[in-house]
Amino acid sequence: MTTTIASVFLPVHDTAAAAGWYRDRFELEVVQAGGHAAVLRDPDGRVLTLLGPASGISARPGLPWAPVSFRVQDLSGFRERCAAAGSPCSEVEGDEASCFFTTLRDPDGNTLLVVDR
């Protein structure tokens, strides 16, 4: 039996606005953006589901920990693009043995981890 992750869920206030933000920052494809949820997909088929208030979830946006990480090829370039778009990232931390990473918050205050590998 092979198990794969079907989706990662994040709470947001406005699914359409959040879908656009994630599309622009992480180059994800918006598969669907409705009132209760937005579904985005990366090139390998992994799914991020943004849950709005109409979904009925009890979690509120603004998660102070990073429930999801995003891998980018160029961490420095990613940080520069985010800063230019008004979404500044933390300083790069980590090491060669594990990975280098930065964090940022989405417009709903959710903490996101961005790694180089």
| pLDDT for the residue 5 | 84
Q: How is domain 8-115 classified at the architecture level of CATH?
A: Roll (3.10)
Domain definitions of the chain by residue range: 8-115
Span 59-102, pLDDT tens digits: 999 999 999 999 999 999 999 999 999 999 999 999 999 999 99
Distance CA 41, CA 53 (A): 21
- Tell me the CB-side half-sphere exposure of residue 95, using CA atoms within 13 A: 2
